[in-house]
C-alpha cells in the first residue's frame, strides 16, 4: 500500500491532470458503446475483481427497461438526491449545463455517477464527463486509488459513495447484492474475442492520455499475465 504522503502527492497530480481527448470517442461502434461494454473491457484489462465495477454501475445508474432488463443507463443524473433518466445524451447535457450555469454543481452524471462538484477539475471540460468512456475509465481509476488508500475492496466501495458511515454501509450492501448474485456473475459478454481485443487496444490509447494511473495498473497486470502464461 502506498504511504499517505505518496497518495496525497498522487491526488494532487491527478487533480491538475486534464483530459486531452475530445467529446467524441470512436473506440467501439455505436452498438457496443454502452456502459456495460466499456465496464467489462476495463474489468478484463485491470485487477478490479470481475463484475465489481459493473455492480457499482448498477447501484449508481441502474434502470429497468421495458423488456425488464436491468441495465446501466449512461444518460442518468442524480440532482441533489433525485434520480433522473434521460432518453438521450443531448437531453442530459442540456439539463446539467443549465444548472452548472447557475453554479449548481450538486450533480452526479453518467454511467458511474461522477459528481461534478468534487471531480470536474479532473476533466478538461464538464461535457467530457458525460461520454461513456471517460466517465467509466475515471471511475475505475478512482476506485483503484480508493482500494490503495483504504486497503480493501469493501472500504473502496464504501468511499466511492461517501465517507459517511450512515450512507456508505447501506451502499456497500446494495453493491454486494449485485456483485454476489450468481445470475449477475455468470452474465457473458455478447461481443466476440476479436471485437474485445479491438476495444481494448483503442481504449488503451484513450486511457494512456487521460488516466495515467489506470494505464500504469493495466500495464502491470499485462506484464504479470504474460509471465504466468509463459510458465
The Cα–Cα gap between 221 and 99 comes to 40
Q: Which residue has the cell 483503484?
A: 144
Give mean pLDDT, residues 74-101: 97
The answer to whether residue 10 sits within a structural domain is: no
The answer to whether residue 92 sits within a structural domain is: yes
The answer to whether residue 119 sits within a structural domain is: yes
Triad 215, 219, 224: Cα angle to 5°: 150
pTM of the entire structure?
A: 0.71
The answer to whether residue 228 sits within a structural domain is: no
The Cα–Cα gap between 139 and 122 comes to 11
The Cα–Cα gap between 171 and 177 comes to 10
Helix (H) or strand (E) holding 177, with range, is: helix 165-179
Q: Which residues, 6 or more positions from 185, have their beta carbon under 8 angstroms from its beta carbon?
A: 50, 51, 179
pLDDT at 6: 43
The Cα–Cα gap between 40 and 33 comes to 11
The answer to whether residue 7 sits within a structural domain is: no
- Cα-to-chain-centroid distance, residue 126: 16
- Whether 105 has a pLDDT exceeding 90, the answer reads yes
The answer to whether residue 211 sits within a structural domain is: yes
User: What would the pLDDT profile of 145-172 be if each residue is shown by its tens digit?
Assistant: 999 999 999 999 999 999 999 999 999 9
pLDDT at 36: 93
* Structural domain boundaries enclosing 142: 16-218
The answer to whether residue 141 sits within a structural domain is: yes
The Cα–Cα gap between 165 and 139 comes to 21
- Whether 19 has a pLDDT exceeding 70, the answer reads no
What is the pairing mode between strands 62-64 and 70-72?
Answer: antiparallel
Averaged pLDDT of the chain: 78
**Count of domains in the chain?**
1
The Cα–Cα gap between 2 and 18 comes to 23
pLDDT at 69: 86
- Whether 185 has a pLDDT exceeding 90, the answer reads no
Lowest mean pLDDT among 5-9, 69-73, 170-174: 5-9
Neighbours of 203 (CB within 10 A): 22
The answer to whether residue 231 sits within a structural domain is: no
pLDDT at 231: 45
Amino acid at each position: 500500500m502506498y504511504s499517505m504522503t505518496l497518495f496525497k502527492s498522487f491526488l494532487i497530480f491527478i487533480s491538475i491532470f486534464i483530459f486531452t481527448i475530445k467529446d467524441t470517442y470512436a473506440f467501439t461502434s455505436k452498438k457496443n458503446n454502452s456502459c456495460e461494454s466499456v465496464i467489462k473491457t476495463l474489468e478484463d484489462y485491470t485487477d478490479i475483481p470481475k463484475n465489481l465495477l459493473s455492480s457499482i454501475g448498477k447501484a449508481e445508474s441502474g434502470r429497468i427497461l421495458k423488456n425488464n432488463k436491468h441495465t446501466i443507463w449512461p444518460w442518468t443524473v442524480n440532482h441533489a438526491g433525485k434520480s433522473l433518466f434521460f432518453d438521450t445524451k443531448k437531453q442530459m447535457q442540456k439539463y446539467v449545463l443549465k444548472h452548472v450555469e447557475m453554479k449548481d454543481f450538486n450533480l452526479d452524471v453518467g454511467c458511474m455517477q461522477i459528481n461534478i462538484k468534487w471531480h470536474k477539475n479532473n476533466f478538461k471540460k464538464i461535457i467530457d464527463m458525460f461520454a461513456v468512456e471517460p466517465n467509466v475509465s475515471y471511475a475505475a481509476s478512482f476506485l483503484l486509488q480508493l482500494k490503495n488508500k483504504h486497503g480493501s475492496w469493501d472500504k473502496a466501495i464504501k468511499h466511492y459513495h461517501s465517507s459517511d458511515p450512515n450512507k456508505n454501509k447501506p451502499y456497500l450492501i446494495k453493491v454486494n447484492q449485485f456483485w454476489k448474485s450468481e445470475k449477475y456473475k455468470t452474465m457473458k459478454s455478447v461481443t466476440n474475442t476479436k471485437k474485445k481485443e479491438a476495444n481494448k487496444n483503442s481504449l488503451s490509447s484513450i486511457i494512456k492520455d487521460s488516466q495515467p494511473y489506470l494505464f500504469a495498473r493495466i500495464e502491470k497486470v499485462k506484464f504479470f499475465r504474460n509471465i504466468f502464461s509463459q510458465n
